[in-house]
Structures are given as structure tokens and as C-alpha cells.
Amino acid sequence: MKKFFVIAAAALVALAACTKAEINDADYQKSKEISFTAVNGKNTKAPLESQYYPTDIPFGVFAYALTQGQTWAANSASGQLYMNNETISYSTTEDANGIYAPSTTYYWPLSGSLTFIGYSPKATTGTVAYAPATKALTVTDFTVNATAASQQDLMWATTQADCTDETVADKGNYLSASDDTQSTYKGVNMIFHHALSQVKFNVKKAAGLDDYTITVNSITFDAYSKGTLTVTNDSPAWSAQAKQDAFVYNTNGTDVVAPNNSAEFAAFGVANMPVPQTLAAATQTFTITYSLEKSGVNLGQKTVTMDLLGAQITAWAPNTIYNYNIVIDLKKIYFNPSITDWETGASQVINVPNA
């Protein structure tokens, strides 16, 4: 059997989020609470493909205070921890339209500025830490579940540096996910970026096989699903990648029949989200099992394992979708006719008598 691959990669859209907070501190003015703008989105554990941040996934925020005249670029090491990995959740308690807020309220400082660092989801499978001196957010030993429906879409937020109440006052207007109407809620914008990759498989039959039914029974792929994310100065990098369980594609027990139209591909299952990684021969592989039938005749089943490394794809980058388009071809039946040589038999003398 022959398999050919064509890859199409596309960057996912960054997500935006927001929240509210408060503490009783004499050094901070109670008249102006710190808030983060949020956009409502769909509820799902699958890859988040909307610009709207979901309402059912809390995110985490660190905030550091700098004194008047200091900047985050030059003085991050002097930053004083103000919000220590706060959990930010969606709520309609303070605003019927909904806002993202922590359980404790925080206020803007009377002078100086605040810098905000965020990530999602708060309940991540890794250990999260932030180092202001190096401006590095780390998520250590993040592990991706082998089943797509249970995977976390790990994201990091663009650093919001040197913020004051005045600089963020007009940043909070956003569109509602439900009806695209303008909200008047204002606060610090949090723009999230996907830290993982997406891998999808699509299948079709090769041309000329319309009379044959090819059914894809299963696809699994073996790749790195654990690693440590380090985001330094808003630049993500992965390290210490390792393998866990193989990723499994399924369609709720329903096999996928390759379409007769040779121009179309059928998506098999939903996307999986491995950690970004460089591909190598015999390291990242996929296994496909498919069966063949013609006019009710069962022509058997075959399992093939192949490398995911190819000419078009040599690595999986963060915030990027990769489509593996699988073309299943069959070996044609040919005939090789030949004729066996005549065998030389015994000779017999026949005597004809004289009359």
C-alpha cells in the first residue's frame, strides 16, 4: 500500500481574557479596582479555536508592582509581588453581563505601575512559577492526556507591562460572544496564545477506487506528550520533552469511510494537542488500521506504521495546526501470462506392412 502526505499549517488566533480583584491596603486607592477585560466563549476541553475566552476555564495571574519612574523592561528584578498566582474565574455577581474576577479584590496603586503575567488553565497539569528577574514563566512537567476530549489547551498571555489605571482605562471594550454587541466593562487586556501544537488526520482514497470501500478503523500516533514550557519575554520554548501514552483518534466507535470523490478528504476524529517538538525518523510515528471491501466481498484489514517526519513537516511549533492528509492507494492486480514450452515426448516407429 502507498501513503502520501500533504501538510497545511495555520496559526491559531490568540485569545483575549479579563478579570476583577481587590485588597484592603492603605497604599492603594479603594476608589479604583483592578479589572481585566474578558470575552465570553464556548465551553470545551478541545482546542480553543475561538477568539472568545471560555466562561468555564479559570486562568492564573501574577502581578508585580514597581515604584514611580521604574519600568518593567529595566527594573523587573525590583518588582514586588502583588498578585501571587491568583485564580481568575467568570462571574455574573458584580455585572449581569459577566466579568472575570478573583475571589479577593485588588486596587490600583496610588503611584507607580503594575505588570501582569497570565496563563491558562489555572488547573494545569504542570507546576507553574514566574521569575521577574528573568521575565520567565515556567510550566514544569506539563502532561497532555492521550485522549483528545480530556486534553488541556495550555496558553500563556502577553505580558501587560507598566500598567496604571489611566493607561488601561479605555482598553476594556469588547464584543459579546453571544450577539457581538459592545460591552462597556473596562480593564486590563489579557491576550492568550496557544502553547501546544494541533495535529489532525484526514483520509481519502486514491483516484480510480470508487468501486471499493475503504474504512479507517483507527489511528494512533506516538509523540512527545510531556515537557516544560518556558515563556521568556513573551517568547515560548519547550524543553525536557518525553513520551507518555500514544495519542488515540476515535470517532465514538464509528469508522470513517474514505470518500469516493478523490478531491475530498474526510476528517478522522478531532485534533490532538502534543507538546511542540522537532520530528525525527523512528521517533514520532503514526499507525493506521483500515479495511477493504468490494461488492460485499470482505478483502481484509491492514495495519501500517509510518514516520510523521516528512518533507513538508519537520517540527511542530506552538500555536500551529498541522493537517496530515492521508491518501490510501491499493495495489492493482496485474497478470503475467506465459506459455510453457512443449515437452518432447517419446518417439515411436510405426511399420506399415506391404500389401
pLDDT tens per residue, range 1-49: 333 222 222 222 233 333 333 333 333 343 467 667 644 333 334 555 5
pLDDT tens per residue, range 289-305: 999 999 999 999 999 99
* Whether residue 293 sits in one domain with residue 208: yes
What pLDDT shows up at residue 49? 55
Q: Please, what's the b/e burial string for 38-60 (b: 16 or more CB within 10 A of its CB; e: otherwise)?
A: bbbbeeebbbbbeebbbbebbbb
Alpha-carbon distance of 158 to 135, in angstroms, equals 12
CB atoms within 10 A of CB 64: 22
- Answer yes or no: are the C-beta atoms of 173 and 33 closer than 8 Å: no
What pLDDT shows up at residue 104? 87
* Whether residue 279 sits in one domain with residue 134: no
Considering only residues 236 and 253, tell me which one the structure prediction assigns the higher pLDDT: 236
Q: Which domain range does residue 186 map to?
A: 13-194
What pLDDT shows up at residue 311? 93
91 confidence band (pLDDT: 50, 70, 90) = confident
Alpha-carbon distance of 77 to 133, in angstroms, equals 4
| 201: in domain | yes
- Answer yes or no: are the C-beta atoms of 241 and 277 closer than 8 Å: yes
* Whether residue 313 sits in one domain with residue 182: no
* Whether residue 112 sits in one domain with residue 44: yes
Q: With CA atoms as reference, report the closest residue to 117 among 165, 61, 192, 71.
A: 61
* Whether residue 120 sits in one domain with residue 205: no
| 232: in domain | yes
* Whether residue 203 sits in one domain with residue 166: no
Considering only residues 49 and 92, tell me which one the structure prediction assigns the higher pLDDT: 92
Q: Supply the pTM of this predicted model.
A: 0.79
Taking 80 as the threshold, does the pLDDT of residue 97 lie above it? no
End position of a domain, from candidates 194, 216, 249: 194
- Answer yes or no: are the C-beta atoms of 87 and 58 closer than 8 Å: yes
Q: With CA atoms as reference, report the closest residue to 162 among 65, 32, 80, 22.
A: 65
Domain count, the chain: 2
What pLDDT shows up at residue 45? 46
* Whether residue 136 sits in one domain with residue 99: yes
* Whether residue 262 sits in one domain with residue 142: no
Q: Is 260 helix (H, G, I), strand (E, B) or coil?
A: coil
- The H-assigned helical ranges of 57-99 are 72-75
pLDDT tens per residue, range 191-233: 899 999 999 999 988 888 889 999 888 899 999 999 999 999 9
